[in-house]
Amino acid sequence: MRAVRVRHSGGPEVLHEVEVPDPNAGPGEIVLRLAACTVNPTDTMRRAGAAAWRVPPREPYALGMEASGIVESVGAGVQFEVGDHVMALVLPTQERGAYDERIAVPASQVARAPRNIDLIHAATLPMNGSTALLALDALDLPEDASLAVTGAAGAVGGYVVEIAKARGLRVIADSSPEDEPMVRGFGADHIVPRGPGFAAAVRELEPGGVRALVDCSVQGAELLPALADGGTMAVLRPPDFEAPDVQIHFVRVSTAPERPELLQELTRYVEAGQLTTRVARQFPLAQAADAHRLLEQGGLRGRILLHP
């Protein structure tokens, strides 16, 4: 089969298409035929250098953390059937990643794709959707509690806003003027300008501060004044600040396989019309380098996808 591998750490030009053996479904695994996989900042970080890996990989190595496709084969003890339309969270290894025409993945990291969207759009759900769920579950807010969200126009932030509204929370989200219609469409109750004035703007709406905050734009300590005393913040990068009076939860999508119900929950939200997907551009696998260049330019609203 065809696959994309990183020849050695560096710029997008180090991505190259290769032929690798077809995978086999071991016990508890499925093999899916790729419909689409996403290109994420995590991929570009890993491509650029081993600092993003806990253990530096040997070269060449694979990339890609989420995909959708059709089940081609199943291992022992698996409930899926050949022909099922699925989406999967992929934790890349030396030999395996999502940038492959066929992917072997533990069935615990797979869920039925939502029936009301196509498989291309389903590929955008597993990684950022699971991250949004992990963040909101860590905050553990009761219905009608106040939540602030930065980076609300982004892939994770948009999912956080939509799922928070589905759970009955009151959401204050940031936005640039050009993104405001989109963020309002996600259901945010209030929108404040993005940037360094976020905390002050939140306090104008909630004088006592919000109960919780999800920092999807990595603003860190400057957001703390937006929180009420004893509030909670979910962060997507390891915190580089201390906040004795605030609980900080570092959310890592690598823990999502421990909770296979998360992907099923995402499917339910989409089928209920409470969670929407956005695709900005699509590229063939062979043009993965172009996809990485486009992502690193920034400014897109929607996901970049690769397909066979």
Render pLDDT for 172-222 as a digit per residue (tens, 0 to 9): 999 999 999 999 999 999 999 999 999 999 999 999 999 999 999 999 999
2-125+277-307 and 128-254 share one fold: no
Q: Classify residue 77 by burial, with Cβ atoms within 10 Å: 0-12, 13-18, 19+.
A: exposed
How many CB atoms are closer than 10 A to CB 71? 22
Q: Which pLDDT score is estimated for 19?
A: 95
Q: Which pLDDT score is estimated for 93?
A: 78
Reported for 291-296, long-range contacts at CB under 8 A and 24+ positions apart, including other chains, are 291/39, 292/12, 292/15, 292/39, 292/43, 292/44, 292/47, 293/12, 295/39, 295/40, 295/41, 295/44, 296/12, 296/44
Q: Which pLDDT score is estimated for 2?
A: 96
Mean pLDDT value of segment 292-302: 92
Under CATH, to which class is 2-125+277-307 assigned? alpha beta
Q: Which pLDDT score is estimated for 58?
A: 75
Q: Which of 257, 304, 272, 281 is nearest to 88 (CA)?
A: 257
* Cis check: omega of the bond before 60, within 30 degrees of 0: yes
Model confidence at 56: pLDDT above 90: no
Q: Give the Cα separation of 205 and 215 in Å (integer).
A: 18
Q: Give the Cα separation of 266 and 260 in Å (integer).
A: 11
Q: Give the Cα separation of 112 and 268 in Å (integer).
A: 10
Domain 128-254, CATH homologous superfamily name and number: NAD(P)-binding Rossmann-like Domain (3.40.50.720)
| Pairing mode, strands 29-39 and 102-106 | antiparallel
Model confidence at 162: pLDDT above 70: yes
Model confidence band, residue 55 (pLDDT cutoffs 50, 70, 90):
low
Average model confidence (pLDDT) for the chain?
A: 94
Q: Where are the domains of the chain?
A: 2-125+277-307, 128-254
113 phi and psi, to 5 degrees? -70, 145
Q: Give the Cα separation of 44 and 115 in Å (integer).
A: 31
Q: Which pLDDT score is estimated for 38?
A: 97
Contact between 47 and 14 (Cβ < 8 Å): yes
59 or 239: which leads in pLDDT: 239
Mean pLDDT value of segment 2-22: 94
Q: Give percent of the chain with pLDDT exceeding 90.
A: 85
